[in-house]
Amino acid sequence: MTQQSKTAKAVACANIALIKYWGKRDIALNLPAVGSISLTLEALKTQTRATFDPNLDKDYLIINDQQASESQRKRIEKFLDIIREKSGNRLFAEVRSDNNFPTGAGLASSASAFAALSLAATHASGLELNKKDLSGLSRRGSGSATRSIYGGFVEMQRGKDASGKEDFAIQLASQDYWDLRLLILITSKEEKKMGSTEAMNLTAKTSPYYQDWVNSSGKDLVEMRKAIREKDFEKLGDLAEYSAMKMHALTLSSRPPVLYWNSTTLELIEQVRALRHDGIPVYFTIDAGPQVKVISLPDHINTLKSHFEFFPGVENIMESKLGPDVELIGDDN
């Protein structure tokens, strides 16, 4: 039987972790060593179109209008192989993926990218997965992608089973549950020198604090779930800063040390603390890059935007509300 070409298109939002994921308990299956809790961001999106086509002689991968780099190609082909294996559709694919934000600079581009690719490529391959299985699948592309399957507040669960069957994300609360606002202060658009996967594995191998990081994560998750349940903004912000600082202390204690900040990052931390001292409800978090993500409430977001707009070293500001689940946006067949 000759197979026909089939296309699907999906859009997924990036997310930022309030309680950070850092470290893997199984590298091959990409099982996290710790659970994590995130917010999905409406303003940062990846749109991906996937076509499985009998006329292709290999996978064609275009990211932001450019051929995928060697490392991106390897990672995406491996992921497409998992989908080919699960669906029984052995055709090669053409994948086009576009971000509306800088790639690889600590803005979780792999999260929205693999969430969008999971939905578009499974659909195009003929495989229909529910959200739970889609989240588990996207983990094979990137751990943080599991969380971008859902909108609002999301928890990636650390499973106990070695197979990974319990390692998927769940939604804690939807996009409309609580109107939080975020500013993403971009301090550099350069690609980071060491990717998260490599840095996590280095940390696990060399940091003397790694086991304490793993052991202390359960308590952070319990407290953050409670802060979200009670809509306790101060508690949420305080825990988010604590988790971010603990993660960066961990990367700094690796050998060689991994430092994701630049001097503007540090100045922005001080700014957020000073603004809070002046009575503005505002907290920060930082991921595997020098950007500072500011978390606040609707009444204060314009004041904060004006404050940071012309701050030296801030190249660009993105504002976001909470975003929705991953979704299909059209199927050409």
Binding site for ligand 2P0 (CB under 6 A): 17, 20-22, 30, 36, 108, 110, 142-144, 196-197, 200, 287-288
* Closest residue by Cα to residue 226 from 15, 37, 33: 37
Of 58 and 78, which has the nearer Cβ to ligand 2P0?
78
Angle at 197 between CA 32 and CA 95, to 5 degrees: 100
Contact 309, 193 (CB under 8 A): no
Of 91 and 240, which has the nearer Cβ to ligand 2P0?
240
Supply 154's token pair: 């999301």
The distance of closest approach from Cβ of residue 199 to ligand 2P0 in the complex, given in angstroms and rounded to an integer, is 9
Of 155 and 287, which has the nearer Cβ to ligand 2P0?
287
Q: Which amino acid is at 52?
A: F
> Residue 68 in 3-state DSSP?
coil
Supply 136's token pair: 């588990």
The distance of closest approach from Cβ of residue 282 to ligand 2P0 in the complex, given in angstroms and rounded to an integer, is 20
Of 220 and 325, which has the nearer Cβ to ligand 2P0?
220
The distance of closest approach from Cβ of residue 316 to ligand 2P0 in the complex, given in angstroms and rounded to an integer, is 20
The residue with its CB nearest to ligand 2P0 is: 143
Helices of type H across the chain? 70-87, 109-125, 131-139, 196-206, 210-229, 233-252, 263-277, 301-309
Of 7 and 207, which has the nearer Cβ to ligand 2P0?
207
The distance of closest approach from Cβ of residue 82 to ligand 2P0 in the complex, given in angstroms and rounded to an integer, is 14
* Closest residue by Cα to residue 73 from 95, 57, 48: 95
The distance of closest approach from Cβ of residue 309 to ligand 2P0 in the complex, given in angstroms and rounded to an integer, is 26
Of 143 and 151, which has the nearer Cβ to ligand 2P0?
143
The distance of closest approach from Cβ of residue 317 to ligand 2P0 in the complex, given in angstroms and rounded to an integer, is 20
Q: How many CB atoms are closer than 10 A to CB 191?
A: 14
Contact 238, 179 (CB under 8 A): no
The distance of closest approach from Cβ of residue 36 to ligand 2P0 in the complex, given in angstroms and rounded to an integer, is 4
Q: Tell me which DSSP letter residue 322 carries.
A: B
Contact 85, 42 (CB under 8 A): no
Of 27 and 274, which has the nearer Cβ to ligand 2P0?
27
